[in-house]
Amino acid sequence: MTAEGHIIFAIASAIFAKRAELTPVMASADWWHLVPAALLTCLLPDIDHPKSVLGQRLKWISQPIARAFGHRGFTHSLLAVAVSLWLFQINVPADWFLPADVLQGMTLGYLSHIVADMLTPAGVPLLWPCRWRFRLPLLNSQKGNQLERALCLALVGYALWFPAGMPSFGANGWPEQLFNTLQNGVGRLVNGQNGQ
């Protein structure tokens, strides 16, 4: 997916996350925190590609990551997703320098990139270091980015249309329960290793 596609997809994701009230923080998030935060990190997974928008500007980071992991390696994996989900659930103090809605927006931007790349034929190696690619190839970059742009703009339109606070979402909906389950599992794993 192109940088333009990732940016539009991140905007759609931020709008949807707030309107669907994916977490209590998202439900009360400030639009001026959430959307810019998602935009800040929506290109970050491609830091592993020296010719990407970020890779060209941060070659001193991009080139070593590309040599170590390759493009769409670790930065596009479930391990990166797990770290992101853990960050999504951190309870930051109210007086912390980075508000909770900014932190969740940054996490959302990162995750939106991985989901968007799953829509391409190349897919993503969610089980990295295993090389299996997970994909739902709706977008083919060989046909230009018109389809990509149209799909991403349609997602923005859907996110704007989406009724706020649908019953399956919100503070007690399935996303919140999923995040809590993942956080508890990671917590048990970490605490189990510390106790040994």
Using CA atoms, how far apart are residues 118 and 111, in angstroms rounded to an integer?
Answer: 11
- What pLDDT is stored for residue 98 in this prediction? 78
Q: What is the pTM of this model?
A: 0.73
Residues 6 or more apart in contact with residue 20 via CB below 8 angstroms: 26, 162, 164, 165, 166, 169, 170, 175
SS3 of residue 58 by DSSP:
coil
- What pLDDT is stored for residue 120 in this prediction? 87
Using CA atoms, how far apart are residues 28 and 19, in angstroms rounded to an integer?
Answer: 10
- What pLDDT is stored for residue 180 in this prediction? 65
Alpha carbon 62 to its chain centroid, in Å, reads 19
Residue 134 pairs in a beta bridge with 124
- What pLDDT is stored for residue 87 in this prediction? 66
- What pLDDT is stored for residue 37 in this prediction? 94
pLDDT per residue, tens digit, the chain (196 aa), is: 888 989 999 999 999 988 888 888 888 888 999 999 999 989 988 888 888 888 888 888 888 888 888 778 878 888 887 777 676 566 666 676 778 888 889 889 999 999 999 888 888 888 888 788 888 887 776 556 788 888 888 888 888 887 765 555 555 555 566 566 666 666 676 566 555 5
Q: Rounded to the nearest 10 degrees, what angle do helices 100-117 and 78-88 cross at?
A: 160
Do 22 and 169 touch, CB atoms closer than 8 A? yes
Q: How far is CA 89 from CA 39, 107, 159, in A?
A: 19, 10, 23
Tokens 């034929």, located at residue: 121
